[in-house]
Amino acid sequence: MFLDYETAEKEMQSVIDGSSNVLEDVVDFLYKNFDYYSWVGIYTVENNELVLGPWRGPHATEHTRIPIGSGICGAAASSGKTEIVPDVKSDGRYLSCFVSTKSEIVVPIKKQDMVVGEIDIDSDKRDAFTKMDSLFLEKVSDMLGEHIH
């Protein structure tokens, strides 16, 4: 099923409001509703590392801990800005997880301006992520800050 972003945003909010396991339910929702979101995970910041929390996708990643500053994930965590990588092969920072991945988006989750985590999505489609994805996922991130401790 593919939802339009406005509907997805409303549904996401109601999923979060009714959830006792918010991070799990968020990755589940994103993975199920967007066909080009091939792998969806949430990392949380612990000391100077990103630590993988819940994820959905066909395979586990070996990158369960990523130093801040390393990879696309670490870059988004240091800058606090969303990273869209249309072609992972041409980005020297990319840490490879899956042979099928062609593009990636990483959206920081903030709490009072501090990065406390991030949403990481890999796509098997090249150039899969647009401004619409970043706007939508930044709204989802805003909903999540208070749920990361």
* Binding positions for ligand SME, rule: CB under 6 A: 41, 61, 63, 66, 71-73, 94-95, 97, 104, 120, 122
Name the token pair of 25.
Answer: 């339910």
CA distance from start to end of the chain: 32
Q: Which is nearer to ligand SME, 3 or 51 (CB)?
A: 51
Q: How far is the CB of 17 from ligand SME (least distance, A)?
A: 28
Find all residues with CB under 8 Å of 53, minimum gap 6, and list them.
23, 41, 42, 43, 44, 117
The residue among 29 and 104 lying less far from ligand SME, judged by its C-beta, is 104
Of 63 and 139, nearer to ligand SME (C-beta) is 63
Question: Which residue minimizes CB distance to ligand SME?
Answer: 71
Nearer to ligand SME, 5 or 94 (CB): 94
One-letter amino acid of 91: D
Amino acid at 89: K
Minimum CB–partner distance for residue 122 and ligand SME (Å): 5
Q: How far is the CB of 99 from ligand SME (least distance, A)?
A: 12
- Looking at the Cβ atoms of 13 and 69, the one nearer to ligand SME is 69
Q: Least distance to ligand SME from the beta carbon of 120, Å?
A: 6
How far is residue 93's CA from residue 110's CA, in Å, rounded to a whole number?
Answer: 22
Cα 16 to the chain's mean position, in Å? 16
| Count helices and strands in the chain by DSSP H and E runs | 4, 6
Q: How many CB atoms lie within 10 A of CB 83?
A: 23
* Smallest separation (angstroms) from ligand SME to the CB of 31: 13
